[in-house]
Chains A and B, each alone.
Chain A
Amino acid sequence: MSRRAASWLAALVVAAAAFLYGAVAEGPPSTNADRVRDLSEDFACPVCAGQSIAESDVPVAREIRRQIAVWVDEGRSDAYIRDELVAAYDADIDYNPSGSGVTSLVWILPLFAGAGIATVVVVMLRPGRARARDSGELPTAGRRRWRNAAVWTVAVVVVAGAAGLLVARSSGSRTADGSITGEIRSTAREKIFEAQQRLSDGDMAGAIAAYDEALELQPSNVEALTYRGWLTSRQGDLAGAAPYLDDAVAMDPAYPDARLFRAIVALEEGDGAGAAQDLAAFDSLDPPPYAEQLLTQSRVRERVAEARDAAALEAVDALAALEERPAFGDTALSVADALAASEALASRGDLLEAVQLLDWVLESRPADPDVLSGRGWLLVRSGDAELFALGVHYLDAALGNDPSNASGLVYRAFARWLHGDTPGAQADLAAFDALPHQPPDLVRLIEDQGLRTALN
C-alpha cells in the first residue's frame, strides 16, 4: 500500500468514525420549548402574510404558540397537534402539504423533473452518442432507437413516480389515526352529537347505540347517561331507564334534563313523591327553554300536583276511617301533606272538611304560619263575606307569627285586592318580592291570576 493510499484510508476511517459516532450518539435532550419552536415553524400564522407561527408576534400567533406548548407538555404527537390546528384553521395553516390527493404532486413533480434532468444529462454523456457523432451515423436503426427511447422513458417515469409517491408518503403530513391519540372527551361529544342527529331523523335505535358508544368511551358522561335513560323509557322500559337516570343525577345533581326525565319516569311509575322531589330540584336549577317546553307539554307540574293531592287525600281519608283520630303530631303526615289534602278537599267541594282538617293540624301546631295562612286562604275563597273577614283574620295571624311568611303575604295580597284595598295588596306583594326565595307555586299562582297586572 502506498503512503498516499494509506493516508486516504486513514482520512476516510477518521471521517466515518466521527460521522457515525455523531450521527448515532445521543445529543443533548431537546426540551419542550425546542419542540414548540420546531412545530411553530411548520405552521402558517393565519393572519400574517407568509410568516410562520414562530416568526409572527401577532396575538393569534402567540395564542397558537401557547396552545402548542400546552399540547407538547401534554405529550401529544406532532400528528395530533397538526390535526387539531387543521380542524380549527383549515388545511392552509399547515406548511407541510399533504402527501395524498392533488397536493401530493408538489412532492412528486420535483422527482419527475429531477429524473428528466438526470436523463438528459445521462443521454448527453452516453458514449454511444459521442461515437455516433464521430462517425456521423446513428448507432442503431431508427425503429430500434425509438423502441429503446420509449422503454427508457417508461422506466424513468415509473421509477420517478414510485420515488415521488414514496417521498410524498413519508413527507406529506398525515393525520393521526382515529381515537388512539384523540382526546376521549371530544370523541364522546361527537358520539352524543351523532346520537342527537339520529334522534332528529327519528332513528331511536341508532341514537341509543350512539349513546352507548359515548358511554363506552366515557362512562361518566352525564348527558349520554341522561339521554340513554330517557330514550329507554320512551321505548316503554321504565325499569331499564331508572338506573341511567339515577346515575346521571348522582353524577351531576344540577343537570336539569336528568331531573326532568326522572320526574316524568317517576310519574309514569306512579311515584308522585319522587317526581315532586325532582321537579323541585328542577325548579331550583336554571333549565333551558326546551326543557321547560317539555315540562309543559307533558303536564309534569299538574301531574305531580295531582299525585300529591291524591296521596294526601288518601292519607287523610285513611285517618278519618280510624275510630279515634290520633293527634296530628303523632301521625306521619307533614304540614305540606295536610295543606295539599285540604286544598284537594276544598277543590272537590268539601270546604268544611278542609277547614276541619287544618283545625286538627292547628291543635298540634297552633302557631304554624303556613297552616294559619292555608286556613285563611280557604275561607277567603269561600265567597262568603263573613268567612272572608275571618279568613283575613287568620292571614293576619299567620303574618303576625312570621312577617316573612311567603304564602301568607301572597294570600293576603289577593284578599286585599278582592276587598278593593289595592295599596295594601301592593304592599304585601312588594314584601313577597323582597323575600330571598319565592316559592315557584306561589309565583305561578300570581301569574295565573294576573295579580301583578291587576295591581298596576
Chain B
Amino acid sequence: MSNVAAGSAAVAAGLAAALLGIAVTALGLVGRYPRWGHAARLLTYLMAAAAVAGVAVMERALITRDFGVKFVADNGSSTTPAIFNVATLWSALEGSILLWALVLCGYTVAVAVRFRRHRNDLMMAWALLVMFAVSAFFFALMVGPADPFIGVEVPAGYDGPGPNPLLQNHILMAFHPPILYLGYVGFTVPFAFAVAALATGRLGEGWLASTRRWTVAAWGFLTFGIVLGAWWSYETLGWGGYWAWDPVENASLLPWLTGTAYLHSVMVQERRGMLRVWNLSLVIATFSLTILGTFLTRSGVLASVHSFTESGIGPAILGFFAVIVAVSLALIAWRGDRLRTPGRIAAPVSREGAFLANNALFAAFAFVVLLGTVFPLLVEAFDGRTISVGNPYFDRMTRPIGFALLFLMAVAPMLPWGGSTRRVPTELLDRRLLVPAWIAAAALVLAVLGGARGWAALLAFGLGGFAGGAALRQIVLAVRRHRWRGLVGRTNGGMTVHLGVVLVAVAFAASQSYVRQAEFDLEANQQASFAGHEIVYLGSAVVVHENRTERVAFVRIDDAKTYGPAIATYPFASQTIGIPSVRSTLRDDVALAVLSFPDEVGPDRVILRVTVQPLVVWLWLGGIVMATGTVLSLVPAGSGRRRPEQVEAAAATAEPVA
C-alpha cells in the first residue's frame, strides 16, 4: 500500500471516528444511547490510532524519501540530516496540521481515559462532544484544503528542496513546535469542559477542579514552547534578538497571557466562588486565541517569518474561530442568570484583590498585543493605508504593565485572603515584605555597582529583586516547614514559576537595555576589541556538507575557545543564510555573525557582526525554572489532601443536570 493511500485512509478514518464520536455523544446527550460513554472512549482510541498512523506514514514517507507524496516532494530532500528529516513534518503547513491533530487526539484519549469513571456524566458527554468536534475540524482540514497525502508524479532522480534552510540548522527546531503545540492544543481540554459546564448549567467549581491540572500542564508546555522559540531565533538569526513582536510570536503570546490570567483568577473562584463569567471567558478566549493564532500563522494574512506559505485553509480556520466565539458567547449570554456570582470581594488589599488587579493587567496586556497585531489590518480595511506596528509600540505599551505585574508578584503572595473584612493587613505586610524589600535594595545596589544605568532597567531589577525575594521567602518557609514537600503543590510550585518569571524579566531588561553591537571588517589574524572582549579572526575555511556548503570564519574570543560563525549556501533555496555562533556565559553572551566575506580579490577578510548582550542565558534558565515550577505544581502537595478524583466526584454530583 502506497504512503499516499495509507495516509489518506488514516486521515479519513480519523475524520470518520471524530464524526461518529460526535454522533455517539450527541445521542447520549439526548438519552437515546445509554452506553455512549463506552463507545465514545473506543472512538477516541480509534481516532488517535488514525492520527498516529497518519503521522507514522508521513514520517515513513519522509525518512524513505517517498517523493510520490507531494508533501515530501515539496519539503523533503535526500540531503536533509536525519533529525531535521523527522522535523520536516512540522516545517510546512499540511504536516503541522497533522501534528496538531495527533496532539489533539492524544489529549482526547487522555481525557476519555482519565474520566472514564464518569462515563455516564452528561458533562463528560458534552466535553467529549466538543473535543470530537474540534478533532473533526482538523481532520476535515486534512481531507480538504490541507491534505498532506496528495500523490504526485515526479521524474526519476528527483530530489526535493528540503525544508527552509532556517528551519534545519538548529536542533531546537526539532523540539520547539511540538512543545508549543502541546501547549496550544492542551487548552482544548479546559475549553471543552467550560462549554460542557455552560451547556449542562453546572457552573460551579466542579469543571474548574477537573481541568486544573490539564490547564496548568498546557500552560507549562506553552510557556516552554515560547521560550524555546525565542531561544531558537536567538541562536539562528544571529542579531542578538529573541523576541521581535512578530505577528506569529504575538499569536503565541496572546493565549499565554489569557491563560496566565486564568491560572490566577481561577483561584478566586475556587476559594470564593466568584468571577465565574470571567473565568469562563478567559478559558474560551485562550482557546479562541490559539485558533486565531493558527489562522494568523497559516492564512498568510499577516506577514511573518514564522508563517507558512499561503494556503486555502485560512477561511476554514477563520470560520471555525467565528463559530467558537459565537457559540461561546451565546452560551454565556444564555446562562447569564446562573453565572451570578455568589460571593464578593470586600477587601481591595487582599489576595483576591491582588488577583483581580493581576487579571486587569493581563487583560490590558492581551488587549495591547492583540490590537497591535491586527491594527495594520484594521487600518488597511478602513483607511486603505498600509502601516506597521512593531517594536517601539509594544515596548512602550507593555513596559508599564510589566512593571506593575512584577510589583504584584512581590506583594500578592504575601497577602491573606480578605474574606469579608476590609482591613488592610499592614502588620502582615510589614513583616512579610521586609526581607524582599532588602533583597530589592541589594539587587539595585549590585546592579548600580555593576554599571547598570537608566531608570527603566533599574526599576526592572529592583522590582525583580522584590518579587524574587518574595517568592524565595515563600519557598524557604515552605521547605522549612514541610521539607521537600514544601517545593511541590500549586502554591509552592507557583512560587518556583514566579522565580523563573523574575529571571526572565531581569534577563529581558538587562539584555534589551545593555546590548552592544558593532560590525568589524577583519583580515586574517587581525584583532578587535569590543565591549570588554577581544576578538581575533583566525581565517576561514570552506566546509562542504551533504545539503549545503559553508564558509566558516574561525574567530577566537578572549584568547580562549574558537568559534565558527558561517555563511551557508543551500543549492535548492539558492539562498545563503548566516549561521551565527554564540559564546554564552552566565555573565554575557558574545554572538558572532558573518555578514559577508568581501575578499573575492585580496587577502582573507570577513565582515563580522559582534553582539555583546548581558545575562541572555538567564532567559533560557528562567524558562527552565518556569517549566520545573510547572511540574512541581502538578505534583500533589502531600498527604491529608483530597485526591483529585474525590474532588471531581464531589463536584460532579453536587448539582443536578439542567
Chain A: residues with CB nearer than 8 A to chain B? 4, 7-8, 11-12, 14-15, 18-19, 21-23, 25-28, 31, 33-34, 36-37, 41-42, 44, 48-52, 54-55, 57, 62, 90-98, 102-103, 105-107, 109-110, 113-114, 117-118, 120-121, 124-125, 127, 129-130, 133, 167, 171, 173
Question: Which of B247, B306, B448, B595 is in CB contact (< 8 Å) with A22?
Answer: B448
Question: Which of A19, A36, A98 is in CB contact (< 8 Å) with B455?
Answer: A19
Residue of B nearest to A130 (CB): B346
Q: Identify the interface centre among A15, A48, A55, A91: most chain B CB within 10 Å of its CB.
A: A15
Given contacts A34-B517, A50-B304, A95-B388, contact A23 B451 (CB under 8 A): no
Is A23's CB under 8 angstroms from B303's CB? Answer: no
Question: Which of B305, B360, B389, B595 is in CB contact (< 8 Å) with A106?
Answer: B389
Please name all residues of chain B whose beta carbon is closer than 8 Å to the beta carbon of A114 when the two chains form the complex: 364, 367
Q: Identify the interface centre among A62, A102, A173: most chain B CB within 10 Å of its CB.
A: A102
Given contacts A37-B515, A49-B305, A52-B390, contact A110 B241 (CB under 8 A): no
Interface of A is mostly: helix
Is A90's CB under 8 angstroms from B519's CB? Answer: no
CA distance in complex: A168, B443 (Å): 34
Residue of B nearest to A125 (CB): B348
Can you list 15 residue pairs at the A/B interface with Cβ under 8 Å? A12-B437, A12-B441, A14-B445, A15-B444, A18-B458, A28-B451, A34-B515, A50-B246, A50-B303, A52-B244, A55-B241, A57-B595, A94-B387, A127-B422, A130-B344
For chain B, the bracket of interface size reads 35 or more
Please name all residues of chain A whose beta carbon is closer than 8 Å to the beta carbon of B642 when the two chains form the complex: none
Residue of A nearest to B248 (CB): A50
A sample of 7 more A-B contacts (CB under 8 A), given A42-B392, A102-B382, is: A11-B441, A18-B444, A54-B241, A55-B244, A92-B376, A114-B364, A130-B344
Tell me the minimal C-beta distance from B394 to chain A in angstroms.
Answer: 9
List of 8 A-B pairs having minimum Cβ-Cβ separation, nearest first? A95-B390, A27-B453, A49-B303, A50-B304, A23-B455, A18-B444, A96-B392, A15-B441
Please name all residues of chain A whose beta carbon is closer than 8 Å to the beta carbon of B529 when the two chains form the complex: none
Please name all residues of chain B whose beta carbon is closer than 8 Å to the beta carbon of A41 when the two chains form the complex: 241, 244, 391
Is B385's CB under 8 angstroms from A91's CB? Answer: yes
Is A21's CB under 8 angstroms from B387's CB? Answer: no
Residue of A nearest to B567 (CB): A57
Is B244's CB under 8 angstroms from A51's CB? Answer: yes
Is A31's CB under 8 angstroms from B448's CB? Answer: no
Question: Which of A23, A57, A105, A171 is in CB contact (< 8 Å) with B453?
Answer: A23
Tell me the minimal C-beta distance from B268 to chain A in angstroms.
Answer: 11
CA distance in complex: A450, B642 (Å): 114
Residues of B572-611 contacting chain A, CB below 8 A:
577-578, 593, 595
CA distance in complex: A171, B578 (Å): 34
Tell me the minimal C-beta distance from A383 to chain B in angstroms.
Answer: 68
Is B371's CB under 8 angstroms from A109's CB? Answer: yes
Tell me the minimal C-beta distance from B581 to chain A in angstroms.
Answer: 15
Question: Which of B388, B397, B438 is in CB contact (< 8 Å) with A110?
Answer: B397
Please name all residues of chain B whose beta carbon is closer than 8 Å to the beta carbon of A118 when the two chains form the complex: 360
CA distance in complex: A6, B303 (Å): 57
Please name all residues of chain B whose beta carbon is closer than 8 Å to the beta carbon of A37 when the two chains form the complex: 515, 517
Please name all residues of chain A whose beta carbon is closer than 8 Å to the beta carbon of B63 when the two chains form the complex: none
Residues of B222-270 contacting chain A, CB below 8 A:
237-239, 241, 244, 246-248
Is A11's CB under 8 angstroms from B376's CB? Answer: no
Binary flags per residue of B427-452, CB closer than 8 Å to A gives 1, else 0: 00011001001101100110110011
Please name all residues of chain A whose beta carbon is closer than 8 Å to the beta carbon of B452 when the two chains form the complex: 22
Question: Which of A25, A55, A95 is in CB contact (< 8 Å) with B237?
Answer: A55
Tell me the minimal C-beta distance from A225 to chain B in angstroms.
Answer: 40
Tell me the minimal C-beta distance from A156 to chain B in angstroms.
Answer: 14
- Taking the complex as formed, is B425 at the interface, i.e. its CB lies under 8 A from any CB of chain A? no
- Taking the complex as formed, is B383 at the interface, i.e. its CB lies under 8 A from any CB of chain A? yes
CA distance in complex: A49, B376 (Å): 14
Question: Which of B248, B387, B437, B454 is in CB contact (< 8 Å) with A103?
Answer: B387
Is A95's CB under 8 angstroms from B393's CB? Answer: yes
CA distance in complex: A48, B360 (Å): 35
CA distance in complex: A167, B393 (Å): 11
- Taking the complex as formed, is B49 at the interface, i.e. its CB lies under 8 A from any CB of chain A? no
Please name all residues of chain A whose beta carbon is closer than 8 Å to the beta carbon of B390 when the two chains form the complex: 42, 44, 52, 95-96
Is B462's CB under 8 angstroms from A19's CB? Answer: yes
- Taking the complex as formed, is B639 at the interface, i.e. its CB lies under 8 A from any CB of chain A? no
Tell me the minimal C-beta distance from A7 to chain B in angstroms.
Answer: 6
CA distance in complex: A36, B515 (Å): 12
